[in-house]
Amino acid sequence: MDQVRIDNTKEYPYLFSPLKVGKYLIKNRVIALPVHTGFAHKDGRVSSWMINFYAGLANSGPGMVIVANAAVSQDGQVSEFNLRADRDEFIPGLGKLAKAIKQKGALACLQLNHAGRFARTAHPLLPSPITSSNLSFNVESLKGFMAFFPFEQRFSLTKNFFNQVKTWRYAMTDEDRQRVINDFAAAAFRAYQAGFDMVEFHGANGYLLCQYLSPFTNRTESGSGCDFKSRTAFSLEIIRAAKKKLPKDFPMG
């Protein structure tokens, strides 16, 4: 079967042109975005399956590949097979992964994350306690989500969700916050040591940094949402701490 090539260069004239980011020249503006795979070993090490997967992505032609969801703390993992960057023992595997991506002509970026309330731990970390009484959700949106699952699974999903809500009762202490700030900075330095060209701090999808940024999950003692300056303070502290450890020309996002 003949391949059909779609030429979008007229509509998007800069799509395949190089882009300068710090000291790097990205060959085009196509980025392989971070999508959690669960391809790591159970102990968080890089697996050959993960290396082959990301090398394949890089070989498809993007200017940069972002490796998804490396946990910065043992208590910040999203899944059972979560990639980890919280100890030096993970650097060799991360190095092999970065090398495999770069050998295919793409820049390698490592996304760093702490899952916060969604972490696989009995006592997840949160900016503020969340209970069923102050949990904000859209009923119609929830119905639409549940419709994707077979009817017999919906009750267990609801039960599991509210069992998870029961663990969202404890706000992070100053000591917890400082530890996680240090964990992010240390993980960023490990990414640099492993040969990644840049790092991305995961601030979306309801994970810890996102929880700090949202007025629904970062509240004052009176229950109202914190102001913008207060909500961004934690992320900015992480960036400052990482900058102290990394070369000045090492990009972060």
Residues 175 and 52 in one domain: yes
Given this model, what pLDDT does residue 220 score?
Answer: 76
Domain that holds residue 158: 133-167
Is position 59 within any domain?
Answer: yes
Higher-confidence residue: 155 or 42? 42
User: Mean per-residue pLDDT for 102-113?
Assistant: 98
- The gap from C-alpha 29 to its chain's centroid, in whole angstroms, comes to 21
> Amino acid identity, residue 115?
A
Higher-confidence residue: 12 or 218? 218
pLDDT in tens, 52-92: 999 999 999 999 999 999 999 999 999 999 999 999 999 99
Given this model, what pLDDT does residue 183 score?
Answer: 98
Alpha-helical segments (H) within the chain: 48-59, 91-103, 139-146, 151-165, 174-194, 208-213, 228-245
What the block records as the tokens of 35 is 């999508």
Given this model, what pLDDT does residue 134 score?
Answer: 61
User: By mean pLDDT, which of 47-56, 63-72, 107-116, 157-166 is the weakest?
Assistant: 157-166
Residue at a domain's end among 121, 142, 167: 167
Instruction: Domain count for the chain, please give it.
Output: 2
Is position 11 within any domain?
Answer: no
pLDDT at 156 over 80: no
- Find all residues with CB under 8 Å of 226, minimum gap 6, and list them: 215, 218, 219, 220
In 3D space, the residue among 243, 220, 204, 179 whose CA is nearest the CA of residue 118 turns out to be: 204
pLDDT at 6 over 70: no
Q: Is the dihedral of CA 178, 172, 213, 166 positive or negative?
A: positive
Residues 37 and 143 in one domain: no
pLDDT in tens, 198-224: 999 999 999 999 999 998 889 876 566
Q: Please, which pLDDT band fits residue 1 given cuts at 50, 70 and 90?
A: very low
Given this model, what pLDDT does residue 11 score?
Answer: 79
Quote the crossing angle between the two packed helices 139-146 and 151-165, to the nearest 10°. 130
User: Mean per-residue pLDDT for 231-239?
Assistant: 96
Residue count (the chain): 253
What the block records as the tokens of 188 is 């960023």
Residue at a domain's end among 115, 146, 167: 167
Residues 175 and 142 in one domain: no
pLDDT in tens, 19-61: 998 899 999 999 999 999 999 999 999 999 999 999 999 999 9
Whose tokens are 């994350």? That residue is 113
